[in-house]
């Protein structure tokens, strides 16, 4: 078993339609902003309105 002493950052993205242009340097959406691994996933069906409203179907995400 190996031990990972360096943490990572997990980011759950809202679904926004077509992919935007590459994020700018310094943006939380740009993995090169951080000195550690970044895991980024888009949650299917997680549109802003659904998340704010508290859509029960998204709870398992």
| DSSP output for 23-56 | PPTT-TT-GGGSSS-EEEEEPTT--HHHHHHT-G
Q: Which of residues 20 and 47 earns the better pLDDT score?
A: 47
- pLDDT the model gives residue 47: 84
Q: How far apart are CA 40 and CA 38, in angstroms?
A: 6
- pLDDT the model gives residue 3: 58
Is the pTM higher than 0.75?
Answer: no
- pLDDT the model gives residue 2: 57
pLDDT score of 46 more than 80: yes
Inter-residue contact 46 to 12 (CB < 8 Å): yes
């Amino acid at each position: 078993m190996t031990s990972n002493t360096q943490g990572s950052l997990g980011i759950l993205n809202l679904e926004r339609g077509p992919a935007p242009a590459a994020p700018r340097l310094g943006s939380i959406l740009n993995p090169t902003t951080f000195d550690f691994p970044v895991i980024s996933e888009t949650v299917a069906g997680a549109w802003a309105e659904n998340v704010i409203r508290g859509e029960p179907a998204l709870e398992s995400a």
